[in-house]
């Protein structure tokens, strides 16, 4: 009997079964999120490094409510300790193709905390350079005067009694963007509680120019 040649192996025969069945490495969530006080009070869901960084980059590619909600338990636990409801305010983008994550974070926190939200209170007063290629000093100069607050507390379009704002962004790096937004709000009489964000970029030792970005950071430019 003739022995017929064996057909080429299927793709699944060329890979170890263990590799096919290996689950993705999970992102470990801090049970009460992360927090700090400089350069302004801040709260973060996770560290923007390793698996946390990959989770946020995936969220940028697929910005869904379910995906962002999975990252928020620790942050929500921490914010529930805040003594009073606070006006949630996503930091606006100057780009025509705006970053969807601050607004998506605002909607999720409004749903889970029951706090009011007004994405129209703050606007950009001028365009800025992308932050991701700038060192610390240039980031602060780049954002100076880049925001305008449209209303004082008590305006008819705003929730009654709200005088405190919680800024929202996707990533906190040097804090230049958040501090510039806070300065515009405080000039109009608002109290800024701080910034809540998805990820906090770990600082590395100052390099030339004072750049404190994470060594794993390779793009995407929040401040």
pLDDT digits (tens, 9 = 90+) for 107-129: 999 999 999 999 999 999 988 87
pTM: 0.80
Q: Could you report the per-residue pLDDT of 171-197, keeping only the tens digit for each?
A: 999 999 999 999 999 999 999 999 999
Work out the pLDDT band at 205, boundaries 50, 70, 90: low
Tell me if residue 53 falls in helix, strand or coil. Answer: helix
Burial status of residue 125 (CB atoms within 10 A of its CB: 0-12, 13-18, 19 or more): middle
Q: How is 91-127 classified by DSSP, letter by letter?
A: PPPSSSS--SHHHHHHHHHHHHH---B-TTSEEESS-
Distance CA 167, CA 169 (A): 7
Q: Could you report the per-residue pLDDT of 33-83, keeping only the tens digit for each?
A: 999 999 999 999 999 999 999 999 999 999 999 999 999 999 999 999 998
- The ranges assigned to domains in the chain are 30-201
Domain boundaries 30-201, corresponding CATH code: 3.40.50
β-pair partners for 191: 164
**What one-character DSSP code corresponds to residue 139?**
H
Amino acid 223: pLDDT? 57
């Amino acid at each position: 009997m003739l022995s017929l040649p064996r057909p080429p192996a299927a793709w699944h025969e060329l890979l170890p079964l263990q590799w096919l069945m290996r689950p993705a490495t999970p992102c470990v969530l801090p049970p009460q999120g992360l927090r700090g006080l400089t350069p302004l009070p801040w709260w973060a869901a996770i560290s923007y490094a390793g698996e946390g960084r990959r989770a946020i980059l995936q969220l940028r590619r697929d910005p869904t409510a379910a995906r962002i909600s999975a990252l928020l338990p620790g942050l929500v636990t921490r914010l529930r300790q805040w003594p009073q409801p606070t006006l949630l305010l996503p930091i606006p983008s100057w780009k025509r193709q705006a970053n969807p994550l601050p607004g998506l974070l605002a909607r999720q926190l409004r749903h889970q905390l029951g706090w009011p939200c007004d994405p129209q209170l703050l606007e950009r007063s001028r365009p800025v350079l992308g932050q991701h290629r700038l060192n610390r000093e240039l980031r602060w100069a780049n954002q100076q005067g880049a925001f305008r607050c449209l209303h004082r507390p008590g305006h008819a379009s705003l929730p009654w009694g709200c005088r405190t704002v919680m800024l929202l962004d996707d990533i906190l790096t040097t804090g230049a963007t958040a501090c510039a937004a806070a300065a515009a709000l405080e000039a109009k009489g608002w109290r800024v509680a701080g910034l809540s964000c998805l990820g906090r970029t770990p600082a590395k030792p100052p390099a030339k120019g004072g750049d404190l970005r994470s060594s794993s950071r390779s793009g995407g430019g929040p401040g």
